[in-house]
Amino acid sequence: MKTFMCEDFLLENEISKELYHKHAKIMPIYDYHCHLSPKEIADNQAFSNMTQVWLKGDHYKWRAMRSFGIEENAITGHVSDYEKFKGFVDMLPYTIGNPMYHWSHLELKKYFDIDKPVNDLDTKELWDTCNNQLDHLTPHKLIEMSQVKVICTTDDPVDTLEDHDRIKESSLKAKVLPTYRPDKAIKIENEAYLEYIKLLEAVSGHPIKGVDDVIKALTIRMDFFHDKGCRVSDHALDTVEYLNDDDLAEQAFKVIMNGENLSDKMRAAYKGKIMRALASHYHKRNWVMQLHIGAQRNNNKRLFETMGPDTGFDSICDQNFSIKLAELMSDLDIKAELPKTILYTLDPSYNYVIGTMIGNFQGGGIKGKIQFGSGWWFNDQKDGMIEQLKALSNLGLLSTFVGMLTDSRSLLSYTRHEYFRRILCQFIGDMVMKGEYPHDMKLLGKIVEDICYNNAVNYFDIEV
C-alpha cells in the first residue's frame, strides 16, 4: 500500500516516475486560460485569512459543501470566515473519490508545507498555521512559487485593462495578459444585450446602428486589447448556434432594437455573422480562438436570482453541436480565415466528436493548429483527463497538445498542473510498460516537456 500523496502520487511505474520527476516537474507553467482577477494580482495584497484564499469564489468546493448538507449561509453567507473554513474542513474527509480531496491536499502541501490528511489535524490549529503564513503569500509570491511564466486572464471587450497596466508596472516577472471574451456582444437573446451595446458604443467611440457597426466596435476594442499584449480570445458558446445569412443577421439586430421577439434562425444568423467576422480578425492578428462548448448555466433559477452567475449551479448540456461547428469552421477555412483554434467540450461523450473534428481543419504548416482542449471544468479530474488524453492520442497527435490550463479563480489552483502532469506521465509510462511505445527516455522526456510547456510557447504568439 502506497502512502497517501507521497512523492510518487499517481505514478505507478519507474518510467512514469522518471518522466515526472526529471521532466514534467521542472517545467514552468503557461496558463493560457484562467479566471484570475487582474485587480487581485495588481493589488498584490496579502489575504486576510485562509477562507479568502482557499474557499472564496470556488464553486467546486461550494457544490460539495451543499451536497454535504451545509446551509448556504455557512458557505456563501454571513457567518464568520472561520465557520466557513471549519465547515469545509469537516466535510473534506468525506469527499473520497472526488478530485477536490486531492486538489485541496496538494494546495496545503505546496503552499503551506502541510503533508498530512486534514482528518489527522486539529481544525483550529490548521487555521492558525495557515493564517500565520499568509503575510508573505501574496498573489505575486504564489505565482512565483508556482513557476508561472504566462497568465491569460478573461476580460470583456469594454474593460479598461487598467489593472493589467498596473501589473506591467509591478515587479512581477510573469506576464499577465488579457484575453478577449466578447460573449455579451454575441448573445443577442440576453436581457442585458441592449445595455451592453450602449456600453460598447461608448467605449469604442463608434455609433452602433447595425450588425456591421457591432463588428466595427468590437474590432476597435480588439486593436486596444492587441496593444495591451492580448493574443487569445475565448467564447463560451455553450451550444453552437450558426447560420450563414447576413440579411437575416441584420434583421435580427433590428428586431431586438425594436423590442420584438427573435426567431431561432435570426439568432443563429446574428451569431454566425459575428463569429465569422471575429474569427477572421483573430486570424489576421495571429490570435488563438478558444471555443468552450457544452455548459448549461444557471439551472437553479431561485439561487441564480439571489446569488448571480458562477456560483455553482451549472451543469453539462447534452445538445448536439458537431454539424454547426463544422459549418462555422468550414466557412472560415474556405476563405483562409480560420485562426488557430482550441475546442473544449464539457460533455465527455463528445470527446470523439472533438477528437475527429480537429483533424478536418489542420494545416497551414502549424503543428496542432486545431487543438482538442484539456479536460475542462467537470472533466479536469483523473478520469476526465485520461479520457481526453486517450481520445486525442487515438484520433490525433498527443505530442502536439498544448497541455493543461487552470480555468480557475483561485491562485492556489496551480497545483492542478501538477495533478495533470502526474496523470500525463502515468498515461505515457503505462504505454511503454505495455510495449506499446519504445523505451526511449530522451524522446519521451521531450514529448512530456513539450506538452507541459514548450508546445504552448510555440503555439501562442506571446514572447516569454
Q: Are residues 5 and 57 in the same domain?
A: no
Q: Give dist(CA 34, CA 77) in Å, integer.
A: 25
Contacts of 276 (CB under 8 A, 6+ apart): 244, 328, 331, 332, 337
Residue with cell 468550414: 330
pLDDT at 261 over 90: yes
Give the domain-ending residue among 399, 427, 455.
399
Q: Are residues 228 and 376 in the same domain?
A: yes
195 lies in a domain? yes
Three-state secondary-structure class, residue 12: coil
Q: Is residue 144 part of a domain?
A: no
User: Strands (DSSP E) along 35-163, which ranges?
Assistant: 148-152
Is residue 157 situated within a structural domain?
A: no
pLDDT value of residue 277: 98
Confidence of residue 195 (pLDDT cuts 50, 70, 90): very high
Q: Residue 222 pLDDT > 90, yes or no?
A: yes
β-sheet bridge partners, residue 88:
none
Q: Look-up: residue for cell 516537456?
A: 449
| Residues 102 and 211 reside in one and the same domain | no
Binned at pLDDT 50, 70 and 90, residue 463 comes out as confident
In the listed set 374, 399, 424, which residue is the last one of a domain according to the structure?
399
User: Taking phi first (over 0 means left), then psi (-120 to 50 degrees means alpha), and beta for anything else, what does residue 410 get?
Assistant: beta
| Helix, strand or coil, per DSSP, at residue 96 | coil
Residue 299 and residue 193 share a domain? yes
Last residue of a domain, one of 399, 417, 432: 399
Q: Which of 391, 398, 418, 390 is nearest to 406 (CA)?
A: 418
Please state, rounded to an integer, the average pLDDT across all residues of the chain.
97
Q: Region 63-82: what's the mean pLDDT?
A: 97
pTM of the model: 0.97
429 and 376 fall within a common domain: no
Instruction: Taking residues 56-71, report their average pLDDT.
Output: 95
Return the percentage of the chain with pLDDT > 70, whole number: 100
Does 203 map to a domain? yes
Q: Are residues 274 and 414 in the same domain?
A: no
Looking at the fold, whether 204 and 191 belong to one and the same domain comes out as: yes
pLDDT at 1 over 90: no
Tell me the pLDDT tens digit for each residue of 389-414.
999 999 999 999 999 999 999 999 99
Per-residue pLDDT at 288 exceeds 90: yes
Distance CA 349, CA 345 (A): 9
The angle formed by the CA atoms of residues 349, 319 and 32, to the nearest 5 degrees, is: 65
1 in a structural domain: yes
Asked whether residue 436 carries a pLDDT value surpassing 90, the answer given is yes
Helix axes 246-257 and 211-227, enclosed angle (nearest 10): 90
In this structure, is residue 158 part of a structural domain? no
User: In this structure, are 414 and 268 located in the same domain?
Assistant: no
Task: Return the closest-CA partner of residue 407 out of 425, 422, 394, 419.
Answer: 419
The Cα 362–Cα 364 span in angstroms is 7
- Whether residue 224 sits in one domain with residue 110: no
Interval 146-165 mean pLDDT: 98
Structural domains of the chain, count? 3
pLDDT in tens, 376-394: 999 999 999 999 999 999 9
Cα angle 286, 291, 295; round to 5: 165
Considering the domain architecture, whether residues 317 and 361 belong to the same structural domain is answered as yes
| Any domain includes 153 | no
- In angstroms, the CA 353 to CA 453 distance is 26
For the stretch 223-239, pLDDT in tens is 999 999 999 999 999 89
Task: Examine residue 456 and state whether it is found in any structural domain, yes or no.
Answer: yes
**What's the Cα-to-Cα distance from 344 to each of 13, 221, 280, rounded to whole Å?**
30, 25, 20
Task: Give the percent of the chain with pLDDT over 90.
Answer: 96
Domain range for residue 236?
A: 179-399
- CATH value at residue 250: 3.20.20.140
CA distance 91 to 87: 6
pLDDT recorded at residue 386: 98
**Looking at residue 67, which CATH number applies to its domain?**
1.10.2020.10
Are residues 105 and 200 both part of a single domain? no
Please report the pLDDT score of residue 421 as a whole number: 98
Same domain? 297 vs 372? yes
